Amino acid sequence: MDASEEPLPPVIYTMENKPIVTCAGDQNLFTSVYPTLSQQLPREPMEWRRSYGRAPKMIHLESNFVQFKEELLPKEGNKALLTFPFLHIYWTECCDTEVYKATVKDDLTKWQNVLKAHSSVDWLIVIVENDAKKKNKTNILPRTSIVDKIRNDFCNKQSDRRSLPLFSRCCSSSRTPWCSMTSWTPSSLSMWSTSGPGVSVPPGALDCWVFLSCLEVLQRIEGCCDRTQIDSNIAHTVGLWSYATEKLKSLGYLCGLVSEKGPNSEDLNRTVDLLAGLGAERPETANTAQSPYKKLKEALSSVEAFEKHYLDLSHATIEMYTSIGRIRSAKFVGKDLAEFYMRKKAPQKAEIYLQGALKNYLAEGWALPITHTRKQLAECQKHLGQIENYLQTSSLLASDHHLTEEERKHFCQEILDFASQPSDSPGHKIVLPMQSFAQLRDLHFDPSNAVVHVGGVLCIEITMYSQMPVPVHVEQIVVNVHFSIEKNSYRKTAEWLTKHKMSNGIINFPPETAPFPVSQNSLPALELYEMFERSPSDNSLNTTGIICRNVHMLLRRQESSSSLEMPSGVALEEGAHVLRCSHVTLEPGANQITFRTQAKEPGTYTLRQLCASVGSVWFVLPHIYPIVQYDVYSQEPQLHVEPLADSLLAGIPQRVKFTVTTGHYTIKNGDSLQLSNAEAMLILCQAESRAMVYSNTREQSSDAALRIQSSDKVTSISLPVAPAYHVIEFELEVLSLPSAPALGGESDMLGMAEPHRKHKDKQKTGHCMVTTDHKVSIDCPWSIYSTVIALTFSVPFRTTHALLSSGTRKYVQVCVQNLSELDFQLSDSYLVDTSDSTDLQLVPLNTQSQQPIYSKQSVFFVWELKWTEEPPPSLHCRFSVGFSPASEEQLSISLKPYTYEFKVENFFTLYNVKAEIFPPSGMEYCRTGSLCSLEVSITRLSDLLEVDKDEALTESDEHFSTKLMYEVVDNSSNWAVCGKSCGVISMPVAARATHRVHMEVMPLFAGYLPLPDVRLFKYLPHHSAHSSQLDADSWIENDSLSVDKHGDDQPDSSSLKSRGSVHSACSSEHKGLPMPRLQALPAGQVFNSSSGTQVLVIPSQDDHVLEVSVT
């Protein structure tokens, strides 16, 4: 048969054997198509779907067609590759259903049954179409119907077999890669490849035969290929080498060639049988020096020869496997070799193979092979006397759950037996890694924050999970502790330690994933933390950054953890600080072990190593990770005084918390705090004051009575007796007395219009409470120096006052604003005149004696001023109101009232200003756009008073007159003032003297409009030294400015304001300039009787546009 491969034509493999195809049915028909078939079939390329992941190939095949005979079919257990019929074809050209039913179907059924009886499943039924036949017959059905019938009768169960991949199956059934590669099939192998020979053979006969076959094949290959070809095909031949090695090994074991003593008589008998069964060597190799036959005979003939041949084969196989990178296979053969060496009592030779294999299994995490190999290694190490290695392997095996309980106990006992042996050199320690013996699961500190003061007791409870199958008595468990002092770090100060380290005190250790390969998951994730170092003095930030806490885990060498089998270089640390726990029996599973230690030197203690000793065997956990630390601190005694609330309020009793941290000082009986009293701050002594005494960890507490004795200058607080490193806490009530004169500083004269805005601004800025500081000096028993403590009290109220007028009647309004968060109850409000003039009377208009004032709210009080004779030019008032917190029912002490002092000047009304607007004559209402007349009348209400005596006053013929300037300003831009909007008038200083001014104004909008403002200023003449020329100029300038303005459609309010500011600038700042000065009349002296009046303006008829401005 020619099988040619398409793209590489030079390589043509030839086979003398063609696959057999049987033909049944119509033999004449087949004979007629045979010539065409045998010619055409090899031309048709076939797809060879190959196994082992190789790409499909297109090949051309020829077949050997033979007539079907039942004898050709192989019997069960007698299958041979070369005589095997691969395909059975039934030929028919039947196209008549009658004929089909009568004969063909019957014949087909018989044929099928024969095939089934021999379990041949590869068959094909061919129906040949014959056009000539079709024409002759009349009752011919379409050919397809016969096909359908056959399909129904024979193919329905195996419909997938219809298109049979004949040759692909033929080729893929070659069972060994080397057969398909060489295309040469040794006869012996074809025998072997059939499954399960039914011939009874003596034990070992098959092995002999397989061994010979393998070597024959290999020899044949060597004979026909050169060295390079052989080398490049090792991957295909190495399996035969390995197989031969395996067979020789089993023969060796069978014939007693692998025992120390050599074969016994039974073994020898068996060997003789086998050698006899081999028969005579075939003539073609009989004369050669080397042949598989000779090799086998020699190997079975003596122990030494077997060893030589077996070692040769094994080494060759291992070498070949290694050379093509099949390391696992090489290790596996190596393990067989190790087994052989162990049988030969040569453990020193076995060890390297076992170690090699074990390393490979460990690296890839194969638990069962690890356990098995370790067991072999343990035996090997025991024979070699490698005590340390043996104990370590034993400990690993004792903790291995893949072994039986008995086996584990055995290995555990091996360790215990060794440990109990009296050591020849006392003090000699065998150090083993702890991991396989017991695992550290968690650790718990008591106190839980792992912070303890000098002299305090610290408990560390650990959970050790014993891996041993039996209870193990441990002489001692030791934790090596590393001590360090970090004096400069704020984190290590007593305050920081006692406050900040608030962990739950339990540290969990990740379970070791021993059987996992090291390469992947076991690498820990980065543990990154923010780091802040603060200055110990003022707590300001010194350094910040990110630290990786487990850098030592990440940067360590990878191999270190994989070499578990080696004595892993675990070193015992000998440190000055150790925690010890003696005579512990570790039960299988979890065990609690408690270490107790008394803290001595302040600093940081890091737990480094954990060791457990069983006799001379020490199990060591070289690094405890995550890092476990505890801190020991010493502390200076300290006193802290802090308010209980956010801020202390003046005037009412406030609680202040005293905290005495005893530190290393012990509070003795009679120790007291001496407080030097501040003047305006009282310490309120209550009958029952109690202090709480806590330990520094806040775990224990007790309370004790506090004795407070007060004298004029000193308050003495006797502290309860407390041991070192405790905290005493108690609260005291303090009262800051309201300091009266400091409060009335800002006297605010509330005017009518403009000053109101000013007031608003002030409110915005001055919203926080006024504070007073009180300093208290405290003498503490542990120090010769006094501690000075400053307490800041805030005044809860802000008070403003205002003078209100109604014609000549006068009222004083006091506004009390509560700035605090508390609600208060106000009571007994008084306003008194401190100058104590009998003429003046302050009539309260406030009805309630009790008045609540809520947080952030204001309360107003009003008094009417009454007098009989001439009122005084100024008035000194003191407002006082009692207050107490609304929440508290009863106060132990009476509180001082809150007071506020202020002064009111020039409060008597001198002028009444009245403005009126009249519609144009003949009209009922004012209209937009039409001029209306504004009539301003200024009336003097009193005769000459003391306050009138100033520069503006002129006297002529015993009549006094003063110069006033009026100004009409409309800030709301409702009106356009036409003509002069201001003027200077000479006002007689006499009661009822009236001055009228007319001017024209134009309403700009319709509706009820408020009247424009009329302002009155006192017009003071310039100093005589100043030139009058400038004076006149300045007026012209001012007037022109105002005229310009009135010419505009929309009077600019800002320019109006700016003119106003010119006046005030003249009056206040530029006193040196030779200009007449304007002085605003005090708000109390002018009463605007038309303020608040509105006048109705109706829109003019031709106004189509209505402007609406919404602001």
Partner 1 sequence: MAVCIAVIAKENYPLYIRSTPTENELKFHYMVHTSLDVVDEKISAMGKALVDQRELYLGLLYPTEDYKVYGYVTNSKVKFVMVVDSSNTALRDNEIRSMFRKLHNSYTDVMCNPFYNPGDRIQSSGSVSLSRAFDNMVTSMMIQVC
Binding residues vs partner 1 (CB under 8 A): 49, 51-54, 172, 175-176, 195-196, 210, 235, 239, 243, 321, 324-329, 332, 361, 364-369, 372, 516-517, 519-521
Using CA of residue 1047, residue 1053, residue 1055, residue 1059, what is the dihedral sign?
Answer: positive
Residues 494, 696: Cα–Cα separation, whole Å: 10
Question: What phi and psi, each to the nearest 5 degrees, are found at residue 376?
Answer: -65, -40
| Number of CB atoms found within 10 A of residue 901's CB | 19
Q: E strands of 413-539, at which residues?
A: 430-433, 438-446, 451-453, 457-466, 472-484, 506-508, 528-534
In contact, 694 and 701? CB cutoff 8 Å: yes
In contact, 1057 and 1042? CB cutoff 8 Å: no
Long-range contacts of 97-105 (CB under 8 A, 24+ apart): 97/141, 97/145, 97/146, 97/149, 98/139, 100/146, 100/149, 100/150, 104/25, 105/149, 105/153
Residue number with CB closer to partner 1 (196 or 545): 196
Tell me the closest approach of the beta carbon of residue 460 to partner 1, in angstroms: 33
Tell me the closest approach of the beta carbon of residue 591 to partner 1, in angstroms: 24
Residue number with CB closer to partner 1 (86 or 966): 86
Q: At what angle do helices 303-323 and 292-301 cross, to 10 degrees?
A: 130
Residue number with CB closer to partner 1 (336 or 967): 336
* 491 burial type by CB count under 10 A (0-12 exposed, 13-18 middle, 19+ buried): middle
Residue number with CB closer to partner 1 (49 or 60): 49
Terminal Cα distance for the chain, rounded = 108
Residue number with CB closer to partner 1 (54 or 1071): 54
Residue number with CB closer to partner 1 (517 or 536): 517
Closest to 853 (Cα-Cα) out of 829, 824, 832 = 824
Residues 584, 463: Cα–Cα separation, whole Å: 13
The H or E element spanning position 152 is none
Tell me the closest approach of the beta carbon of residue 355 to partner 1, in angstroms: 17
Residue number with CB closer to partner 1 (7 or 196): 196
Q: E strands of 192-316, at which residues?
A: none
Residue number with CB closer to partner 1 (175 or 876): 175
Tell me the closest approach of the beta carbon of residue 512 to partner 1, in angstroms: 16
Residue number with CB closer to partner 1 (329 or 498): 329
Tell me the closest approach of the beta carbon of residue 15 to partner 1, in angstroms: 22
The H or E element spanning position 378 is helix 367-384
Residue number with CB closer to partner 1 (313 or 652): 313
Tell me the closest approach of the beta carbon of residue 263 to partner 1, in angstroms: 25
Which two tokens mark 994? 């009236």
> Residue 1005: which residues within 8 A CB-CB, separation 6 or more?
928, 974, 1097, 1107
Tell me the closest approach of the beta carbon of residue 691 to partner 1, in angstroms: 56
Tell me the closest approach of the beta carbon of residue 176 to partner 1, in angstroms: 7
Distances (CA, A) of 603 to 59, 458, 497, 666: 84, 14, 11, 22
Tell me the closest approach of the beta carbon of residue 118 to partner 1, in angstroms: 13
Closest to 647 (Cα-Cα) out of 505, 788, 791 = 791
On the CB side of 571, how many CA atoms lie within 13 Å of its CA? Answer: 3
In contact, 468 and 414? CB cutoff 8 Å: no
The b/e string for 413-444 (b: 16+ C-beta within 10 A; e otherwise) is ebbbebbeeeeeeeeeebbbbbbbbbbbeebb
Residue number with CB closer to partner 1 (335 or 1077): 335
Residue number with CB closer to partner 1 (172 or 634): 172
Residue number with CB closer to partner 1 (538 or 559): 559
User: DSSP readout, 614-650?
Assistant: ETTEEEEE---SS-EEEEEE----EEEEEESSSSEET
Tell me the closest approach of the beta carbon of residue 326 to partner 1, in angstroms: 4
Residue number with CB closer to partner 1 (79 or 1046): 79
Residue 66's DSSP bridge partners are 22
Distances (CA, A) of 139 to 26, 100, 147, 820: 22, 13, 16, 120
Residue located via tokens 């194969």: 366
Tell me the closest approach of the beta carbon of residue 235 to partner 1, in angstroms: 7
Residues 144, 277: Cα–Cα separation, whole Å: 60
Tell me the closest approach of the beta carbon of residue 335 to partner 1, in angstroms: 8
Tell me the closest approach of the beta carbon of residue 331 to partner 1, in angstroms: 8
Relative to beta strand 64-67, strand 20-25 is: parallel
Residue number with CB closer to partner 1 (239 or 1082): 239
Question: What string of H, E and C letters represents the secondary structure of 746-772?
Answer: CCCCCCCCHHHHHHHHHHHHCCCCCEE
In contact, 922 and 714? CB cutoff 8 Å: no
Tell me the closest approach of the beta carbon of residue 174 to partner 1, in angstroms: 11
Residue number with CB closer to partner 1 (214 or 778): 214
Residue number with CB closer to partner 1 (342 or 497): 342
Tell me the closest approach of the beta carbon of residue 562 to partner 1, in angstroms: 13
3-state SS class at 1025: coil
In single-letter form, the type of residue at position 995 comes to: H
In contact, 518 and 558? CB cutoff 8 Å: yes
Tell me the closest approach of the beta carbon of residue 336 to partner 1, in angstroms: 10
Residue number with CB closer to partner 1 (164 or 886): 164
Tell me the closest approach of the beta carbon of residue 223 to partner 1, in angstroms: 24
Tell me the closest approach of the beta carbon of residue 350 to partner 1, in angstroms: 17
